[in-house]
A and B are shown apart, each in its own frame.
Chain A
Amino acid sequence: MAFLEIQNVKLSGLSACVPKTILENKDYPGFTSSEEAEKFMTTTGVYRKRISAADTCTSDLCLHAAEKLIADLKWDKKDIDCLIFVSQTHDYILPATSCLLQNRLGLKEEIFALDISLGCSGWVYGLQVLASLLSHGHFKKGLLLVGDTILKSCSIEDKSTYPLFGDAGTASALEFSPNSVGFKFHNSTDGEGFEAIIIPDGGYRNEVSPLSFEMVKMESGIKINKLHILLDGMNVFSFGISKAPESVNNLSQHFSIDLQGINFFVFHQANLFMNEKIRKKLRLPEEKVPYSLKNYGNTSSATIPLTMVTELKKQLETTHNKIIACGFGVGLSWGSVYFETEKFICSEIVEI
């Protein structure tokens, strides 16, 4: 079993940045009636979301989130020894976006920078990599920048993705802290399900060609090309409702964590219908399971930190909290983490 415990590292702060442009789902042209729009919104829980401008990348959102967090934490940029960028919407195929961000953030040359390609589970995995690096005590401070401009890869003629997803970037600050309890993780991967959420062309398996741009009607209301996200809703749903609760239960059993004593369970924000099935399966009370779906949608890798910033800011800033977060999705990849927070800096959300 892929369990991991990392001590002597703490999460010191969180921030998030979203584009200022709001898309209202009631106005989405792909719905054939206002009843259909209403049904979509009540079922998925997504009423509106943010969409980035053509010239805004995930790195831009993460850059602004990071600048805000560094300022609020009063960190000296010279002390930042690692930078990890988790996203599937990078600036270029190469070079790595973390290298560009080192320069744009004005960080020193003596820094460990790394890109990680994961989606919905990405924050949990990025957290493990950064916390592991810091736990040795050589690197003292690190930034975990996680987000996606996933709407750039959704077909506007696909009602299974376009109204569901939103764009966001986040920053999480971690530091070496010898007496901190740290983090406890459970991880899983099942590559057999790689086609459940996929952009088929544009990589090196299927290089981009004129055929990549051909729009194909998959079913009613879903017209996409091979550079767009193809989402198998049934398989993703079936995966999510079984694996997310299983991962949380594995984590709690392995590390003897009493789920009753947890203050908040922050799940990847897939959609309300799926997330509520997961919540009920784990018998968790509503007030312990926050959602940012209504105003931001499913923001891919950004959902967990974004939900903490938008829904838990006050609690995180004023009280001690025991939190379990669980990410699950594209890969298929999933994982859960238990951690505690204290004297936490949770920045005001940034809009650009």
Chain B
Amino acid sequence: MQNFAEQFDETDPAVFSIETEFRSIDEWSSMHALSVIAMVDEVYGVKLTGDDIRKSATLEDLYNIVKSRL
């Protein structure tokens, strides 16, 4: 979750929880999607696709995808 929060410059890390619907974060943009893909690739060695991001609503959804591919 902290790794995810670090992709955002202008949003307080404290607002992130596993229920956070990341698309509703004001700052969210297509660039953040790319940052998240890059972070997951670097930190976990897992390849997230565009569909993975599109199908996920919350951080927990993303977490479960990453976990299933570890």
Q: Which residues of A contact B (CB under 8 A)?
A: 39, 43, 160, 232-235, 237-238, 241-242, 273-274, 277, 281
Contacts and interface: CB of A to CB of B under 8 A. Distances in A.
A339 B35 CA distance: 33
A232 B50 contact: yes
Contact of B30 (A233, A238, A242, A281): A233
A234 B41 CA distance: 13
B31 A238 contact: no
Interface of B: 30-31, 33-34, 37-38, 41-42, 47-51, 53-54
Given A43-B31, A233-B30, A241 B37 contact: yes
A121 B49 CA distance: 21
Nearest to A40: B31
B49 A242 contact: no
Contacts of A241: 37-38, 41
29 contacts: A39-B31, A43-B31, A160-B30, A232-B50, A233-B30, A233-B34, A233-B50, A234-B30, A234-B34, A234-B49, A234-B50, A235-B50, A235-B51, A237-B34, A237-B37, A237-B38, A238-B41, A238-B47, A238-B48, A238-B49, A241-B38, A242-B41, A242-B47, A273-B31, A273-B34, A274-B34, A277-B38, A277-B41, A281-B42
Q: Which of A232, A234, A242, A277 has the most CB of B within 10 A?
A: A234
A19 to B, nearest CB: 29
A56 to B, nearest CB: 32
